[in-house]
A and B are shown apart, each in its own frame.
Chain A
Amino acid sequence: MLEARLEQANLLKKVVDAIKDLVQDCNFDCNDSGIALQAMDNSHVALVSMMLKSESFSPFRCDRNIALGINLTSLTKVLRAAQNEDILTLKAEDAPDVVNLVFESAESDRISEYDIKLMDIDQEHLGIPETEYAATISMPSAEFQRICRDLMALSESVSIECSKEGVKFACQGDIGSGSVTLRSHTNVDKPEMNVEIDLTEPVSLTFSLKYLVGFCKASSLSGQVKLCLSNEVPLLVEYALANNSYLRFYLAPKIGD
C-alpha cells in the first residue's frame, strides 16, 4: 500500500496547477523511491516529468509499484479543498480503485477526507537519454517567465542563442522584433537572482512560446529555473524542488527555415 504524507499541501497544489493545462490524464507511478509522473501533451511536442522523492514525504511508505491513474481536473477540484498549509496524506491500496487524500489543518482540528476514482491509463512512456547539454543556463524563474510573456506579445516562436557573450532570447513578428540578452551575473545577497551560463559550445534553437509560457506556471515552485540546450534536441526546463525532487518539462524544437 501507499501512504505518503506531505508537510504542506501547497507543493502538490502548485505542481498540479503547473501541469494541468498541458496534460489531462496521468499515471502517478509510486514505488519505494517516491512518486513519479511522465506525460506528453496531446500534440506530442511537450513532456512533463515530475519526481517527488520519498524524502519529500514524512513518512513515506510504498511496498510495491502502484500506478495511480488520475484525471488532473478531478485532482484539481479536490486539491482546491486543501488549505496551502494543510498536511496532506495520500493513501492507496495495492490494487486500488481510488486514491484517498486527507487534509489536516495544523491550527484547527479539521480533517477533510476525499477519494478520487482512478482511471486505467495506457500511457506511452518515452526513454529520455542522459544528455551532456552544450549549454546550461540557471536564472531567476520570474525573469524567464517575464521574457517569455513579453516576447509572446510579438511572436509565436523564440530563438534561444547561447554563446560566450551570454544568452539571447529573440523573436520576430508582424509588428516588429524583440530580444532580451542576459549575461552571467552573481548577486551575493540574493543568490536567487543569479544568472549562470555554463557553455561547452554555442547553441541556437527555436521554440514555441506558447509552451514555454505554459511551463512558467511552475515559477512559484522555485526561485530559479534551469534551461538545458543542445543543438537539435529538445529543451529541458527544470524547476528543482527540495530533497532532489523536481518538475521538468521537455520541449521539441522547431526545425528548418
Chain B
Amino acid sequence: TAQQSRLEGFFRPV
C-alpha cells in the first residue's frame, strides 16, 4: 500500500 509522506519532504522550514 502507498505510504503517507510528510510535508517536510516538500516544504523547507524557514
Contacts and interface: CB of A to CB of B under 8 A. Distances in A.
A126 B11 contact: yes
A163 B12 CA distance: 30
A40 interface: yes
A255 B5 contact: yes
A130 B6 CA distance: 19
Interface residues of B, number: 14
Nearest to B4: A254
Contact of A255 (B3, B8, B12, B13): B3
A206 B4 CA distance: 9
B7 A44 contact: yes
24 contacts: A43-B6, A44-B6, A44-B8, A45-B5, A46-B7, A47-B7, A127-B12, A127-B14, A206-B2, A208-B4, A233-B10, A234-B10, A250-B7, A250-B11, A252-B4, A252-B9, A252-B10, A253-B5, A254-B3, A254-B5, A255-B2, A255-B3, A256-B3, A257-B2
